[in-house]
Amino acid sequence: MTIGVVGGGQLGRMLAIAGYPLGLDFLFLDRERTAPAGQVAPLLTAEFGDRERLRELASRSDVVTFDWENVPVESLRGLPCPVRPSRAALAAAQDRVSEKRLFERLGIPTTRWRSVESRSELARALSEIGLPAMLKTRRLGYDGKGQAALRTRSEAEAAWERLGAAPLICEELVPFDSEVSILGARGVDGATVFYPLCLNTHAGGILRVTTAPYGRPQLQRLAERHLGRVLVHFRYVGVLTIEFFVRAGRLIANEMAPRVHNSGHWTIEGAVTSQFENHVRAVAGLPLGETRALGHSAMINLIGRMPPRARILAHPGVHLHAYGKEPRPGRKLGHCTFVAPTAHARDAWVRRLLPKLAPGIRIP
């Protein structure tokens, strides 16, 4: 069985690495000839909206999935094999306004927001939401790109000048206590599994560190209920992620990703079945695997510069994942994971390694 994957980044590469032991084959499509997944599987090179190449991908595959959600959904219509997750789920996640409406319709608490397409709509949004606020492009934002925090009217003016050419969303800036995410998977037969909540530390809009499990059984139950509603709403097949702010013991949904997610990388070594394997199992119509954590995990992203391999591997118990990408400032080049018997031992490890791997970053 061949799984066609649109997008050949590190997520795709880790999907293939998880799928090979199950006897599955992979075929990727990416814009870049040097895409990381191309080092482990055959790769077609084309724009994501190229109907002809997408048809070729689908005709050589049994199912098509994604490692990137910003594929033009129209170009996926009428492909000769199933597309999982569905185009509807993809479309909702591509536009921050549709995403907010979906959360509201499903009773999932989210930030207060207004759609903004003109200076006057921005002024109205700010008078209703107040400052501080966040201004974001509705589409194509990731890793903090296409967004600005607004603390003053003059910052709002500067952000409008920078971002205003595209449709925007303005939302309240949440003074969160922490950021968490939940990942879950739904199979073709409707079975669902959920991973333990992950605690995420971002800097400059980019995920830097994840630790899991977060604990807090009440928040876990709530997060599973929220994610479960989205999974059922779309009759979703595959892994889905929702990121939340935690504020005074409440969960406030920030955004969702219809795919495997950076905050779930710890599951490769830290859970019975990794997010990658469960996504592959789901889209291939196979039974889902157990999601239980095997200990207390930490994942540190390696961004912009790859430390020497030997320096990382000199720490006993550390797992390294290098994505085979050219270094560039702000680029995710790899990650490393550590699984400890206690949360205390794990956090001590993170505090020892962070100054070397991610200077200036601290965990809560």
Interface contacts to ligand AMP, rule CB under 6 A? 111, 134, 141, 144, 171, 173-174, 179, 202, 205, 243, 254-255
Nearer to ligand AMP among residue 69 and residue 171 (C-beta):
171
In angstroms, what is the minimal distance from the CB of 169 to ligand AMP? 10
Q: Say how many residues make up the chain.
A: 364
In angstroms, what is the minimal distance from the CB of 350 to ligand AMP? 18
Whether the CB-CB separation of 251 and 225 falls below 8 Å is answered with no
Nearer to ligand AMP among residue 205 and residue 295 (C-beta):
205
Nearer to ligand AMP among residue 29 and residue 170 (C-beta):
170
Give the tokens for residue 133. Answer: 């606020």
- For residue 239, give the nearest of 247, 248, 250, 230 by alpha carbon: 230
In angstroms, what is the minimal distance from the CB of 84 to ligand AMP? 24
Nearer to ligand AMP among residue 67 and residue 179 (C-beta):
179
Rounded distance between C-alpha atoms, residue 111 and residue 114, angstroms: 10
Beta-ladder partners of 206: 203
Nearer to ligand AMP among residue 83 and residue 219 (C-beta):
219
In angstroms, what is the minimal distance from the CB of 121 to ligand AMP? 18
Helical spans, DSSP H, in 265-342: 267-270, 275-283, 309-313
For residue 46, with 0-12 CB atoms within 10 Å meaning exposed, 13-18 middle and 19 or more buried, which class applies?
middle
- For residue 120, which phi and psi values (nearest 5 degrees)? -70, -35
In angstroms, what is the minimal distance from the CB of 60 to ligand AMP? 34
- For residue 18, give the nearest of 281, 335, 260, 276 by alpha carbon: 276
